[in-house]
Amino acid sequence: EAIVGTNHVKAKVPALFTFGDSIVDPGNNNFIPTLIKADTPPYGQDFVGNIPTGRFSNGKLSPDFIAAALGLKETLPPFLDPHFNTQDFLTGVSFASAGSGFDNLTAEVVSVIPMWKQVELFKQYKALLTNLVGEERASNIIGESIFLSVAGTNDFSENYFFLPIRKTQFSVAQYQDFLLQICTTFIEDLYKLGVRKLGVYGIPPMGCVPLEKTLFGQSKLKGCIEELNQVAISYNTKLRSILHNLNARLPGSKLVYVDIYYSFLDIVKNPSKYGFETSSRGCCGTGLVEIGPTCNLVTPVTCSDASKFVFWDAVHSTERTYEITANFVLQN
């Protein structure tokens, strides 16, 4: 059983693991050759030690808060970090890679780790874990632990809507089905590796993201781009039904649809209700285009108090937003 740090609270589950994109990548991309990194200030300015960790935020991400709430540890480390210790290893890691998606092309374009390769990393983890604690305990840990998958947004936002390839091959509805077929295989592969408790995130309201509004020439728009939000809603509806079918088909599986859409939409539409001042732009620079390398210390006018902002850069949330969305996830 996991004993945590110094407080020795008995953890609610043995471990927490994440797969997916930048929403849950605590810094795996720092260890691969890609431009999609958050390894320079002001990223991490409100993290312990005020250092950039590779998290696309001013501080922690949702899985960090979820791990703490489950009594595991304060932060969830990246699997590729050579420095994490055995205790960290036992209580969970992240395999996620910022910029990734279900479509291999999405990851290829920006040289990050596609979802199938994240499963390969998990296989490596499982082998290491088995060496460490033996086969029986390893499969117990994996069978009882919580796994989260957060992917799909980049497939639309950095691939389908902006590269010509998929658009010529698929209608939006066909592309959704293409992604969900890959998602189904991903879930089945994890199931074969012993995973039983998996939370699969739906897509958030993409049309409310500052960078998307800028790219669509709508940066002045007070609300959100409805067309993009509708794509998310219909994708999520299909995802729900697929998870329902997989639950029936895979004995002992607990696949949960994690609705991030409506909770996040409420934050964006009613920021003051949650203690925010603005949801139309990020804290870093203008907040309309900056992300990764373009959000840096040379960027002028980065806000002084990130907790007043829903968005940290033009795409990603602030630590405060991630804390709120983590609570939504835990309640559900």
Confidence of residue 322 (pLDDT cuts 50, 70, 90): very high
Active-site hit among 57, 279, 316, 317? 316
Q: What is the DSSP letter of 200?
A: E
State yes or no: pLDDT of 10 exceeds 90.
no
Neighbours of 223 (CB within 10 A): 13
Q: Is 307 exposed, middle or buried (0-12, 13-18, 19+ CB in 10 A)?
A: middle
313 classed as catalytic: yes
For residue 64, the model assigns a pLDDT of 98
pTM of the complete model beyond 0.85: yes
For residue 302, the model assigns a pLDDT of 81
State yes or no: pLDDT of 4 exceeds 70.
no
Calpha distance 14→178 (Å, rounded):
34
253 classed as catalytic: no
What number is the average pLDDT over the span 222-248? 96
What number is the average pLDDT over the span 82-101? 92
Active-site hit among 21, 22, 57, 100? 22
State yes or no: pLDDT of 299 exceeds 90.
no
State yes or no: pLDDT of 177 exceeds 70.
yes
316 classed as catalytic: yes
State yes or no: pLDDT of 7 exceeds 60.
no
Those residues whose C-beta lies under 8 Å from the C-beta of residue 325, and which sit 6 or more positions away, are 62, 260, 263, 264, 267, 317
Active-site hit among 97, 253, 313, 317? 313
Q: What domains lie within the chain, and their CATH numbers? A: 16-331 (3.40.50.1110)
Least-confidence region, from 19-33, 134-148, 208-222: 208-222
Tokens 């603005």 sit at which residue? 278
Confidence of residue 221 (pLDDT cuts 50, 70, 90): confident
Q: Report residue 36: phi and psi, to 5°.
A: -80, 80
Those residues whose C-beta lies under 8 Å from the C-beta of residue 286, and which sit 6 or more positions away, are 301
Calpha distance 282→315 (Å, rounded):
8
Average pLDDT score over the chain: 94
